[in-house]
Amino acid sequence: MSTDDATTAANDRLADREDMIVCVDVDKFYGDFQALKGVTATIKEGEVAVICGPSGSGKSTWIRCINRLEVHQGGDIVVDGIELTNDLRNIEKIRSEVGMVFQQFNLFPHLTVLDNITLAPIWVRKKPRAEAEAMARALLERVGIPEQAEKFPGQLSGGQQQRVAIARSLAMEPRVMLFDEPTSALDPEMIKEVLDVMKELAMSGITMMVVTHEMGFAREVADRIMFMEGGEIVEVGTPEHFFTNPTEDRTKLFLSQIL
């Protein structure tokens, strides 16, 4: 495969790292429609992988399979050495190690920002409330909105809501963060504030899988870019390779439409 060089380059930087997410031949069906066709990929610890592709290509389905919001029917998914099976305990473990940020934020509208963030640490991680709140305030500081702690999500702008959602995921101290089109539902002027937070996260060394159409972000931050179409990974490569010298025709077509 001609992507070998680029992959090797990325692998060099991350060569000595542990495998964080391993997917082998993952299949997913919706009735007659096959959304994932034998997706195979390995994400290293600390890697930032950006997944792009036309809509309906299976990007979201794939990352939703990784914390079992969708159940894959064929193949294997292993996260941090824990295989995702029917085992209740494994599902619990993976859910508490993998954070997820949604396109529609999905904040809990009846809870304040602070309660949104502290809910899981208190009830899943069994942390004392005071400790959880202190951490929540620190996280709000980190995403740049410390003054909004007592407000309700409905009183915040879209960008602020998405930053709260990121803080909520981080509060569980996850080893992996999944981002499902985090900026698609935002007005243009708010996209940057969210991307800035995500960049800062990427620098901090957390493993990230990001489904996005923000090519600028991908070019700047990603270790690898994966291009999906029709439920398959078509091309994988470093940003330089991907943007300057894509090998597959389908990738070229996609890039020509989006750039």
Partner 1 sequence: MQDANQGSVDPEFQQGIEDRESSPHEIPSLPVGQWLRQNLFSSWVNSVLTLFGGFLAFFALRGVLNFVFSENRQWDAVRTNLRALMTLSYPESQYIRVWVSLGFVAGLAGLSAGLWANWGGVSVKRVSTWLMGTGGLLAVCVIVREPSVILGSDGKVVRTLEGSLQRESFLDAMVNRSSWWIAAVVLLVAGIVLWRRFASATHRGSELPVTSVVFLGLGLAVLSLWIAPYGHYAFISETKSYVAESGRTVAFSTKLPWTVMLALLCSFFGLGRLLQRSEYGGLIKGASNLLWLVSPLTLFWVVLRDPALDYGHVISTDLPMGLAFGALGGAVLWSLTRTGVGEAGRLVATMLLGFAIFNWVAAFFGWYPMLQKARISFLLLAFAALLAPNFMGEIAKRRQLVLGWLGVTALVHYLATMINTPSTVEVQSSEFLGGLGLTLFVALIVVLLSFPLGVLLALGRTSKFPIFRMLSTSYIEVIRGVPLISVLIFFSVMVPLFLPDGMELAELAAVLTGYTLFSAAYLAENVRGGLQSITKGQYEAADAIGLTAAQRTSFIVLPQALTVSIPQLVGQVISTFKETSLLAIIGLFDFLRVANSVIPAQSEFLGVKREGILLVAIIYFFFNFTISKYSQRLERRVGLGER
Partner 2 sequence: MASSAPPSIHHERPPFYRDVTVVKWAVQVLALMLTIGALWFLAKQAGDNLRASNVPTDYNFLSVNPGIDLSSGIDTDPDTGGRALWVGMVNTLRMAIAGIFVATIVGVLVGLARLSNNWLLRKLGTVFVETLRNVPLLVQILFYGAIFASLDRVSMDVGPINGWFHLSNKGLSMPRVHIADGFYQWMIVIGIGLFAANFLRKRRIAEQDLSGEETYPILSAFGLIVVIGILGWFVHPIFGFVGNIFSSLSSAVSAIPEGAVQVLIAFLSVGLSVYWIRGFLKSRRTPAGLAKLTDDDYFRMIFAATGGVLGAVFFLVLWPGLSSWIINSGSDLFEVLSNKFGNGRSGRPIDVALPEVVQIGKFPNYGPSGLNFSIGFAAVFFGVVFYTSAFIAEIVRGGILAVPKGQTEAAAALGLRRSIALRRVIIPQAARVMLPPLGNQYLNLTKNTSLAIAVGYSDIVQVGQTVYNQTGKTLPVVSIWMFFYLSCSLSISVVVNFFNVRMRIVER
Task: Point out which residues bind partner 2 (CB under 8 A).
Answer: 1, 3-4, 7-8, 11, 19, 22, 24-25, 27, 29, 31-32, 34, 40-42, 71, 73-74, 76, 78, 83, 85-91, 233, 236
Nearer to partner 1, 129 or 252 (CB): 129
Least Å distance, CB 110 to partner 2, is: 26
256's contact among partner 2, partner 1, none, with CB below 5 to 8 A by partner kind, is: none
| C-alpha distances in Å from residue 246, one per residue of 3, 223, 240, 252 | 9, 16, 9, 6
Which does residue 106 touch among partner 1, partner 2, none (CB within 5 to 8 A, set by kind)? partner 1
- Of 15 and 259, which has the nearer Cβ to partner 2? 15
Cβ closest to partner 1, residue 139 vs residue 215? 139
Residue 126 Rama label (left phi>0; alpha psi -120 to 50; beta):
left
Which DSSP state fits 57?
Answer: S
Q: How far apart are the first and last CA of the chain?
A: 25
Interface ranges with partner 1 (CB under 8 A): 67-69, 92, 95-96, 98-100, 102, 104, 106-110, 119-120, 123-124, 126-128, 165, 168-169, 172
Q: How far apart are CA 220 and CA 238, in angstroms?
A: 11
Nearer residue to partner 1 within complex by CB, 206 or 234: 206
| Residue 22 interacts with which of partner 1, partner 2, none, CB < 5 to 8 Å by class | partner 2
Nearest CB to partner 1, comparing residues 41 and 91: 91
Pull the structure tokens for residue 194: 């969210």
Q: Which does 71 bind (CB under 5 to 8 A by kind): partner 2, partner 1, none?
A: partner 2
CB of 193 to partner 2, least distance (A): 33
Signed CA dihedral, 183, 187, 189, 190: sign only: negative
Residue for token pair 């400790």 = 131
User: Cβ of residue 25: shortest distance to partner 2, in angstroms?
Assistant: 8
- Residue placing its CB nearer to partner 2 in the complex, 93 or 137: 93
102 binds, among partner 1, partner 2, none (CB under 5 to 8 A by kind): partner 1
Q: Is 173 left (phi over 0), alpha (psi -120 to 50) or beta?
A: left
Burial (Cβ within 10 Å: 0-12, 13-18, ≥19) of residue 96: middle
* Long-range contact pairs involving 123-130 (C-beta distance under 8 Å, separation at least 24): 124/96, 124/172, 125/96, 125/172, 125/173
Q: Which does 90 bind (CB under 5 to 8 A by kind): partner 1, partner 2, none?
A: partner 2
Q: Which residue has the tokens 């991908």?
A: 218
